A and B are shown apart, each in its own frame.
Chain A
Amino acid sequence: MTSAMMQSQILVIGAGPAGIAAAIAADSKGQSVILIERAESAGGILNQCIHDGFGSIRFGEQLCGPEYAYKEIKRLEGSSVIAYFHTTITEIRREEDFFLIDAVSPKKGTMTLKVEAIILATGCRERSARQIFLQGDRPSGVFTAGLAQYVINCMGYLPGKRCVILGSGDIGLIMARRLTLEGSSVLGVYEIQNEPSGLSRNIVQCLNDFGIPLHLSRTVIELHGKHRLESVTIMDVDENRQFIKGSEQIITCDTLIVSVGLIPEHDMVRELGIKYDPHTSGPIVDQTYMSNVPGIFCCGNALHVNDLVDYVTESGEIAGDAAVDYLNGIIPRKKIELIIDQSIGSIIPQTISLSATKTFTLPLFIRSKRTMRKSILRITNGGNELFTKRFNVVKPPEMIRIDLSCEISKVQTDFPFLISIKEERS
């Protein structure tokens, strides 16, 4: 079988909201763009998120996930982006100043693409039950929250009748409501930390509305059941996350839904020499969302896990625009590092590249490490204060977005930017 050879300036991998936005942004500036998606259609994770709460920033209304996807797919269909669905990338090779990509699809067979820039928009995957430490048997009836969501919303099956939810991430909370509406009984949500990791809105509308208890500082430690799950052991933890002896309880259930976090997905490009940030688990990027490998950009959940799709689309647009600038030879000069202290969980971007412009404005996405009230966010550079903003409260589940504007003449380019949040004493 011969392999078709194709050429384009930009390849976008993944047709979720991030990839769609990136492809359209680059296309609208006249670049040739190929979009490759391994699923049969576009929309990504939005297709299974049938609940509402998407798009309030971009569209000013609360859309359901598939409705947001619908709007974006219509925009994609109106562009000249060439999209290949049901297509798997088997290899990416980096040559001198271009990339060669092997891909295969049932319809087209094998093909090789030659492109000058790649935008990764592959989303994230879920931490599985195996990645957290659970003792005991390995029965069936253990699902990640996203898988349970797919099974119910897309296949129309109920995973089980009596469910325990481990972890208070948003998908777990949303599944607590979904299972209840479909007739399962949800016995409780168990969270090892002393505060929920999901949004307040989801605590109220997914748990409180239905009287589902949220147990903080309490976790599942052991599974029981030969074939199907029969029960789980739960246990309390203290402030240092040490188990409290004697607090064990056994709960009879046939299903455990695990919602213990998401990790950006990029197994496919591990070998290209991209540097990763341990805080976000995504690539280290500058404000153009380009990684340390020239020509490789990243956006959406592949860059860092987002809770708002509006920001995902924005990040796709930034990466799409920047990839075009890169192809046009606009090369930033000096890099400044953004360094976070103990108060901050993660930041995007991690570096800023200074270009020839006199001023710059860029969005920064920051997650605090813990909940802090009456606090102040500060950015300093060589002892000078560049930015401050006060917050009544900051919470880890709710990402902070700020616009940082600077005059380059005022920046000491040999010093990093230091970012911190402190509680103010009243």
Chain B
Amino acid sequence: MRPIEMICINCPLGCQLTVSRKADGALEVSGNNCVRGIEYAHTELENPLRRVTTTVNSGSMKVPRVSVKSSESVPVEEIFLIMERIEGFRLNRSCKCGDILIDHISGDIDLIATQDFTFSEGEVKI
């Protein structure tokens, strides 16, 4: 494997890490200023996790989108899967910040509203 460059984001230092895999398969990390840099390189290479934040169609004209997040962080490659599942979704009801809008959108992960939204029939999108 060619060495990979990455920036540790565990603290504001932002160490520039170089990671390579040794013959026995173990990872070798350099450039880190503390042990957390090594842990970071491992999760980033083996299973990087990210919170998905996006919006859903509210069904209303006045406030067309409602902001949402995934209940937990998900592997990077799952982000687009979740985006696809959201695409056809229409809320068409009121919700509160923290409400589950789609449960089990991916495995145990739910989709959660990050804002209050009041739906009124008069403003329905056609």
Residues of A bordering B, CB below 8 Å = 47, 50-52, 62-67, 69-70, 152-156, 181-182, 200-201, 203-205, 208-209, 392-393, 395, 398
Q: Mark B71-109, 1 if CB is under 8 A from A, else 0.
A: 000001001100100000000000001000000000000
Closest to A209 in B: B76
Best-buried of B67, B68, B83, B116 by chain A (most CB within 10 Å): B67
Given contacts A50-B114, A70-B116, contact A201 B9 (CB under 8 A): yes
Given contacts A70-B115, A208-B6, A209-B50, contact A398 B12 (CB under 8 A): yes
Chain B residues, CB < 8 A from A208: 6
| B97:A51 contact, CB within 8 angstroms | no
Sample (27) of A-B pairs whose CB atoms are under 8 Å apart? A47-B115, A50-B55, A50-B68, A51-B53, A52-B53, A52-B69, A62-B51, A64-B53, A64-B67, A65-B67, A66-B97, A69-B115, A70-B114, A70-B115, A70-B116, A153-B55, A155-B65, A181-B80, A181-B83, A200-B7, A201-B9, A392-B33, A393-B13, A395-B12, A395-B14, A398-B12, A398-B14
| B9:A200 contact, CB within 8 angstroms | yes
CA of A65 to CA of B97, assembled, Å: 12
At the interface, yes or no: B3 with Cβ under 8 Å from chain A? no
| A181:B54 contact, CB within 8 angstroms | yes
| A203:B7 contact, CB within 8 angstroms | yes
CA of A12 to CA of B51, assembled, Å: 35
Given contacts A52-B53, A200-B7, contact A392 B13 (CB under 8 A): yes
Q: 4 new A-B pairs (CB below 8 Å) besides A203-B7, A208-B6? A: A50-B55, A50-B68, A64-B69, A156-B64
State how many angstroms separate the Cβ of A390 from the closest Cβ of chain B.
12
- Interface size of B by CB at 8 A reads 28
| B64:A205 contact, CB within 8 angstroms | no
Chain B residues, CB < 8 A from A203: 7
Given contacts A66-B97, A395-B14, contact A204 B9 (CB under 8 A): yes
| A155:B64 contact, CB within 8 angstroms | yes
CA of A243 to CA of B25, assembled, Å: 45
| A200:B14 contact, CB within 8 angstroms | yes
Closest to B57 in A: A156
Chain A residues, CB < 8 A from B55: 50, 152-153, 156
State how many angstroms separate the Cβ of B10 from the closest Cβ of chain A.
10
Q: Which of A70, A156, A205 contacts B97 (CB 8 A)?
A: A70
CA of A23 to CA of B76, assembled, Å: 41
Chain A residues, CB < 8 A from B13: 392-393
- 8 tightest CB-CB pairs across the interface, nearest first? A200-B14, A50-B67, A66-B115, A64-B114, A156-B64, A201-B9, A156-B65, A70-B97
Chain A residues, CB < 8 A from B64: 154-156
State how many angstroms separate the Cβ of B116 from the closest Cβ of chain A.
7
Closest to B114 in A: A64
Closest to A208 in B: B6
Chain B residues, CB < 8 A from A398: 12, 14
| B51:A52 contact, CB within 8 angstroms | yes
CA of A66 to CA of B13, assembled, Å: 28
| B14:A393 contact, CB within 8 angstroms | yes
State how many angstroms separate the Cβ of A420 from the closest Cβ of chain B.
20
Closest to B125 in A: A156
State how many angstroms separate the Cβ of B80 from the closest Cβ of chain A.
8
Chain A residues, CB < 8 A from B6: 204, 208
CA of A67 to CA of B54, assembled, Å: 13
